[in-house]
Amino acid sequence: MGHKPRYAKKRGSSDMNVLASMSESIAAYGPGKSELSHTEMERISEEELQLAKEVYKGAVRELLERY
């Protein structure tokens, strides 16, 4: 999609805390700035939302091809 992923240390609770025992590799993705997630300052632009839609569609296609 022309964007480079970056590592981010996630704090707090998420499904990843439960799933970590089942997999060595877990990825999270979502539009917007992760440091503002679930705060009053969280904002997502229309462009970010459209990109996220395309990323999710591509991920589902790739997973369906593999499994």
Q: Extract the runs of DSSP E, i.e. beta strands, from the chain.
A: none
* Distance (Å, whole) CA 30 – CA 32: 7
Q: How far apart are the first and last CA of the chain?
A: 22
pLDDT value, residue 51: 93
pLDDT value, residue 50: 95
* Distance (Å, whole) CA 48 – CA 23: 28
pLDDT in tens, 21-66: 888 777 788 888 888 888 999 999 999 999 999 999 999 999 999 8
Return the domain boundaries, the chain: 32-67
In sequence order, what are the residues at sequence separation of 6 or more whose Cβ sits closer than 8 angstroms to the Cβ of residue 14?
A: 28
Q: Give SS3 for 31.
A: coil
pLDDT in tens, 4-23: 877 776 666 678 778 878 88
